[in-house]
Amino acid sequence: MGTLTVNLSGLELSNPVIAASGTYGYGMEYLDFYDVNCIGSFSIKGTTLHPRTGNRQPRIAEYDGGLLNAVGLENPGVEHVVQEIFPRLQKVYRGKVLANVSGFSMEEYCACAQRLDEQDIVGIIELNISCPNVHGGGMAFGMDAACAAELTAAVRRCVKKPLYVKCTPQCPDLVDLCRRVEDAGADGLVLVNTFLGMRLDRHTGKPLLANVTGGVSGSGIFPQALYRVYQVYPHVHIPIIGCGGVSCGSDVIEMLSAGASAVEIGTQNLLDPMCVPKVLRELEDYCREEHIQHITDLIGRAHQ
């Protein structure tokens, strides 16, 4: 087994680096920069049962530590992904992807997840109950532990592949929610999605985003995301994928030390398209310099 390999619920990855949903498209967008087969895996753009045009413009704003986005789950719908995008992706990508699933009702979540579960290229279903940029869906399930558990159990009955639940940091009791989705059948967790925030135009005083609020991402949220992983790790028995503000190899090391088994990189992919190869080099250098035999030895060491 290689130094950087990790295993997520039976899915073996060549390294712990995963590109977060919404920041990597369908992988093919990065082919002009490097061979995407170098990445451990990536989560496809958030997918719903039916096509969505997303929120009104403007829906992206900047701050010193990263970005705010209110894209609103713009996507072509699950059938287009399955019939048009996956066949093209399989010609260039040899690995398995995480299929990020969202919806506006339990029935929509289940139908979309079941369709993606049937695809050979999908290795993990990533249940998104944490999107802060749509009304009446996504985070509405993730704010209530009972609702999250009910949805997890329903989707669990519909899919055969590992089911990871992507949680919102806005949840009032994240530890309780994570325990309950584990009890409901989740095979893993993704901690965390973006934080809710806003920016105002300094000239008009009006919100910069048409949606008023958006998801805050980028290096500025890393300490808070890291804490959520550290906080939840002792209370669950399933793998955690750490996510939020990761931008370099050192951040990956910190996430693993806090309890993550793998790490998702989001906004940094948009700021620096060569981010993934750089992070992988940094991880290899770290393991060599620190005489780390296997990177999984780092998981949870902050708690020891």
Closest CA to 300 of 248, 257, 253: 257
Residue 131 has pLDDT above 90, yes or no: no
Cβ(239)–Cβ(89) below 8 Å: no
Model confidence over 265-302: pLDDT tens digits?
A: 999 999 999 999 999 999 999 999 999 999 999 999 99
Instruction: Tell me the pTM.
Output: 0.96
- pLDDT tens digit string along 81-99? 999 999 999 999 999 999 9
Catalytic residues: 131
Give the domains, in start order, of the chain with CATH numbers.
6-55+74-196+219-303 (3.20.20.70)
The 8-class DSSP code of residue 95 comes to: S
Percent of the chain with pLDDT over 70: 96
Quick one: pLDDT at residue 183?
Answer: 98
pLDDT of residue 285: 97
pLDDT digit string, tens, across residues 172-203:
999 999 999 999 999 999 999 999 999 999 99
User: What integer is the mean pLDDT of 233-255?
Assistant: 98
> Does residue 69 carry a pLDDT above 80?
yes
